[in-house]
């Protein structure tokens, strides 16, 4: 029994597809939404029904609350799953949906509001006894007060947008001379990105690990944790590789992290899937960073090591139904690693890239999962996030999972748009990764001068596409697997055709 007959998925791309697949497995009619640019996108075609919201810009489609509420009404959907991003943490949308008679598959608006504010969440965690990174006092938001707080705690510090996320509205300040300009830039970015220029100051921890804990609150009010994820491989404060469990967390530390994360979630009466994020120092001390009140991008690694479907659990909980598993009987099995494939060029500051996908190939391997919203001919434009796919590998241990993911990435190909596939493979092959010597400065320390291997010339890609012969293999001039008969052909090979 699923509780809902029809659910609308208020998102696009790989996360919309991932939610749609679970809904269909549960026997629930799925309703996709699409901008005019996405009417033929895989998520729109995969759903049982599809509603067109408006023009390509997100503000006129996926962020258009009125259009989404009309789609809910017109489709007869009883509930909305927001995925992540877009309106997934928008308390106003959740409330409006509820007033219209629909169910938001996620936490209560009150929890989203508290945890959506960096300052309010810090205050709530202080009251709950959850350790937080030292920062500016509550209520201090003026420039002079923030300057005094920074001087008192000592540089380096981070200036952060209170309503921020995804690395936006954040600046590292090494000394007092750079503080005024960093403050002005953060306020400007925060106002543009979140319509809120409020910022605060936080002590900067040198070479910390970014550790997060998956929590879940079920329909009975019980809150539990499903282990931790290591998310320290980041560029511009945004993650590109995540794994579970963390190589820096032992069973005793895991128990303390889980207990603290559950306390954080209980402090806001949390229900549904959520993630409590911490910064951890070299001595194993950890501090609350923020809570994401939604399904996390990296949720697949938790699903693979615990054998659960978090989306199904969200749907059942929103319907007031029991979970299909007993949390007390879950146990950690093996190791899983996720790599985020972005349309970006790591060799030139991770600049977002655009283009048409002329060829697309991911290998079919045991223990390997691909969450992707791409298809041949997909146009990667400027309107949406450059995340193209997530590739995830499971293994009995970290070494096996790393080997499996590295091999799969080197066999994968997305041609027609520049991606970070080569960088991901190189990170997985780095000795520091193998040793588990990871922190948030990993890429800056080991890959600051990284450059991509020679890619296929554009004329070769265009000629192969025009001839109807997809070009498969590595995205660069890397050789194929050791046992591949194509190794001697270099970077590419035509497949099919006549």
Tell me, what CATH number does 160's domain have?
3.30.1490.20
Look at residues 105, 120, 143 and tell me which one is the last residue of a structural domain.
105
Mean pLDDT of the chain: 90
Domain count, the chain: 3
Q: Give this prediction's pTM.
A: 0.85
Which of 65-74, 119-128, 194-203, 463-472 has the weakest average pLDDT?
A: 463-472
Token digits for 391? Answer: 């590739």
Q: Where are the beta strands (DSSP E) in 245-345?
A: 272-280, 286-292, 335-342, 344-345
- Tell me, yes or no, whether 433 and 331 share the same domain: yes
Q: How far apart are CA 88 and CA 373, in angstroms?
A: 18
CA dist., res. 270 & res. 469, Å (int): 52
The answer as to whether 475 is a domain residue is no
Instruction: Kindly state whether residues 194 and 216 are assigned to the same domain.
Output: no
* 434 domain residue, yes or no: yes
Say yes or no: 165 and 180 in one domain. Answer: yes
Residues 195 and 235 in one domain: no
**Is 441 in a helix, a strand, or coil?**
coil
Model confidence at 466, pLDDT cuts 50, 70, 90, reads: low
Cα(377)–Cα(358) distance, integer angstroms? 6
Residues 181 and 97 in one domain: no
Last residue in a domain, options 179, 203, 227: 203
Q: Which domain holds residue 351?
A: 209-446
Given 169, 203, 237, the domain boundary residue is: 203
Say which range, 117-121, 177-181, 278-282, 484-488, has the weakest mean pLDDT.
484-488
Residue 453 included in any domain: no
Identify whether residues 198 and 222 lie together within a single domain: no
Q: Mind listing the pLDDT tens digit for each residue in 62-97? A: 999 999 999 999 999 999 999 999 999 999 999 999
Note the pLDDT of residue 486: 28
Start-to-end C-alpha separation, the chain = 51
Strands (E), 272-412: 272-280, 286-292, 335-342, 344-345, 351-352, 355-356, 359-361, 368-372, 379-380, 387-395
Higher pLDDT, 455 or 92: 92
- pLDDT tens digits, residue range 136-148? 988 899 999 999 9
Q: What is the CATH number of the domain that holds 338?
A: 3.30.470.20
> Cβ(123)–Cβ(114) under 8 Å?
no
Same domain, 313 and 190: no
Q: Tokens for 274?
A: 């959520």
Residues 6+ apart with CB under 8 A from 184: none
Classify residue 329: in a domain, yes or no.
yes
**Quick check: is 455 in a domain?**
no
pLDDT digits (tens, 9 = 90+) for 366-401: 999 999 999 999 999 999 999 999 999 999 999 999
The predicted pLDDT at position 478 comes to 36
Q: Measure Cα distances from 23 to 2, 46, 91 in Å.
A: 9, 11, 23
| Residue 324 DSSP one-character state | S
Rounded average pLDDT over 113-126: 91
DSSP bridge pairs for 209: 280
Tell whether 54 and 75 lie within a shared domain. yes
d(CA 122, CA 159): 15
d(CA 158, CA 237): 12
How would you list the strands of the sheet with 199-203, edge to edge?
170-173, 157-161, 199-203
Q: What angle do CA 346, 471, 13 make, to 5 degrees?
A: 60
Task: Indicate if the pLDDT at residue 352 is higher than 80.
Answer: yes
Strands 157-161 and 344-345: unpaired
Residues 247 and 198 in one domain: no
Q: Are residues 73 and 178 in the same domain?
A: no
Backbone angles phi, psi at 90, to 5 degrees: -95, 105
pLDDT exceeds cutoff 60 at 224: yes
CA distance linking residue 295 with residue 302, whole number of Å: 11
Q: Are residues 199 and 248 located together in one domain of the fold? A: no
The verdict on 239 and 192 lying in the same domain is: no
């Amino acid at each position: 029994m699923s509780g809902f007959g029809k659910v609308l998925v208020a998102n696009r791309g790989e996360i919309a597809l991932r939610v749609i697949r679970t809904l269909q497995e549960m026997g629930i009619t799925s309703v996709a939404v699409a901008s005019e640019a996405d009417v033929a996108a895989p998520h729109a075609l995969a759903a049982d029904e599809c509603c067109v919201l408006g023009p390509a810009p997100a503000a006129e489609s996926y962020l258009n609350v009125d259009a989404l509420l009309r789609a809910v009404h017109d489709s007869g959907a009883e509930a909305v799953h927001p995925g992540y991003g877009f309106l997934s943490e928008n308390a106003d949308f959740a409330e409006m949906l509820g007033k219209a008679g629909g169910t938001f598959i996620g936490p209560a608006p009150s929890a989203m509001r508290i945890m959506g504010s960096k300052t309010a969440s810090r205050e709530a965690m202080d009251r709950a006894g959850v350790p937080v990174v030292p920062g500016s006092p509550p209520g201090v938001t003026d420039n002079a007060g923030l300057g005094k707080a920074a001087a008192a705690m000592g540089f380096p510090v981070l200036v952060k947008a209170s309503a921020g996320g995804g690395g936006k509205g954040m600046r590292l300040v090494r000394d007092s001379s750079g503080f005024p300009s960093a403050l002005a830039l953060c306020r400007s970015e925060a106002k543009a990105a979140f319509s809120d220029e409020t910022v605060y100051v936080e002590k900067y921890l040198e070479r910390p690990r970014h550790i997060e804990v998956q929590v879940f609150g079920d329909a009975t009010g019980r809150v539990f944790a499903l282990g931790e994820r290591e998310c320290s491989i980041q560029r511009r404060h945004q993650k590109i590789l995540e794994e579970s469990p963390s190589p820096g967390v032992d069973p005793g530390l895991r128990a303390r992290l889980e207990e603290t994360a559950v306390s954080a979630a209980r402090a806001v009466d949390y229900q549904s899937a959520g993630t409590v994020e911490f910064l951890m120092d070299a001595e194993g001390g950890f501090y609350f960073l923020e809570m994401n009140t939604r399904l996390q991008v990296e949720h697949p690694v938790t699903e693979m090591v615990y054998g659960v479907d978090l989306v199904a659990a969200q749907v059942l909980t929103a319907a007031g139904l029991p979970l299909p598993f007993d949390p007390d009987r879950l146990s950690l099995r093996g190791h899983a690693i996720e790599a985020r494939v972005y349309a970006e060029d790591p060799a030139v500051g991770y600049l977002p890239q655009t283009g048409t996908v002329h060829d697309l190939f991911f290998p079919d391997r045991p223990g390997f999962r691909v969450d992707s919203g791409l298809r041949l001919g997909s146009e990667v434009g400027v309107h949406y996030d450059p995340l193209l796919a997530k590739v995830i590998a499971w293994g009995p241990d970290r070494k096996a999972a790393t080997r499996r993911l590295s091999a799969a990435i080197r066999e994968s190909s997305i041609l027609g748009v520049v991606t970070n596939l080569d960088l991901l493979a190189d990170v997985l092959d780095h000795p520091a990764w193998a040793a588990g010597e990871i922190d948030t400065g990993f890429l800056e320390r080991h890959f600051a001068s990284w450059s991509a291997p020679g890619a296929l010339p554009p004329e070769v890609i265009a000629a192969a596409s025009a001839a109807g012969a997809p070009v498969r293999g590595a995205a660069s001039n890397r050789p194929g697997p050791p046992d591949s008969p194509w190794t001697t052909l270099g970077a590419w090979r035509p497949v099919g055709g006549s």
